[in-house]
Amino acid sequence: MKTASKEGRMFIFTAPSGAGKTTIVRHLLKTYDFLDFSVSATTRAMRDYEIDGKDYYFLTPEEFRTRVDNDDFIEWEEVYEDQYYGTLKSEVERVWESGKHIVFDIEVKGATNIKNQYGNKCQAIFIKPPSLEILIERLTNRKTESDASLKKRIARVKKEMTYQDTFDAILVNDLLQVALKEAEFMVETFVYGKPFDEEE
């Protein structure tokens, strides 16, 4: 298997909630040993299956705001009241120092901010559901939220869908196996295809 190039790259996978970006990111991390996951920080409650430091760095709102004041984040956002998400500078340093490329699983505004900062080092990919109706059905079937929380999330999803044309590529997640193969192609092309060769 090929190893990572000398210069660190970034793959930013972004999508509305429920579009399947986490499934795609997990597949890529299992497939390529030259990729590593950027663990985001958040103040939302930890879910039963999640591990602190692996899925997210779970912080209190006070801890998060202190780290914002200390300029510890590349990007951050208050998604809902007192519910923050952000990317720590230390995460990017950790992955690149290990000689690997970074994979982000991140919401659209954070993805936009990272892309603006790192430019051509990034491949920003928007995971798109087959339709808004199917996405709402997926979110509803999760049964992990109250009606009020679900309404708030659906409103956010509609807004996030308007960002799709601002990224480098759109990947439609209709048939999962097809979407996974397309994601693999995007990773291989960005690291070892023509864009990679031109910079060597």
d(C-alpha 40, C-alpha 106), whole Å: 8
pLDDT in tens, 17-52: 778 899 999 999 999 999 999 999 999 999 999 999
DSSP 58: E
73: Cα separation from own chain's centroid: 15
88: Cα separation from own chain's centroid: 13
How much is the pLDDT for 20? 86
How much is the pLDDT for 17? 77
Element holding 141 (H helix, E strand): helix 132-142
Q: Which CATH number applies to 10-189: 3.40.50.2300, 3.40.50.300, 3.40.50.720, 3.40.190.80?
A: 3.40.50.300
Task: Say if residues 102 and 95 touch (Cβ distance below 8 Å).
Answer: yes
Q: What's the whole-model pTM score? A: 0.80
- For the stretch 56-63, contacts whose Cβ atoms lie closer than 8 Å and that sit 24 or more positions apart, written own/partner, are 57/88, 59/84
d(C-alpha 172, C-alpha 81), whole Å: 30
Task: Say if residues 112 and 163 touch (Cβ distance below 8 Å).
Answer: yes
The three-state DSSP-derived secondary structure of 72-135 is CEEEEEEEECCEEEEEEHHHHHHHHHCCCEEEEEECHHHHHHHHHHHHHHEEEEEEECCCHHHH
How much is the pLDDT for 6? 52
75: Cα separation from own chain's centroid: 12
For the record, the structure tokens of 175 come out as 């048939």
Each of the 200 residues of the chain gets a pLDDT tens digit; together they read 444 445 799 999 998 877 889 999 999 999 999 999 999 999 999 999 999 999 999 999 999 999 999 999 999 999 888 899 999 999 999 999 999 999 999 988 889 999 999 999 999 999 988 788 877 787 777 776 777 777 877 777 788 888 888 999 999 998 999 999 999 999 999 998 744 334 44
How much is the pLDDT for 140? 79
Task: Say if residues 8 and 20 touch (Cβ distance below 8 Å).
Answer: no
What is the helix, strand, coil percentage profile of the chain, to 5? 50, 25, 30
Q: How many CA atoms lie within 13 A of 112 on its CB side?
A: 11
d(C-alpha 58, C-alpha 87), whole Å: 12
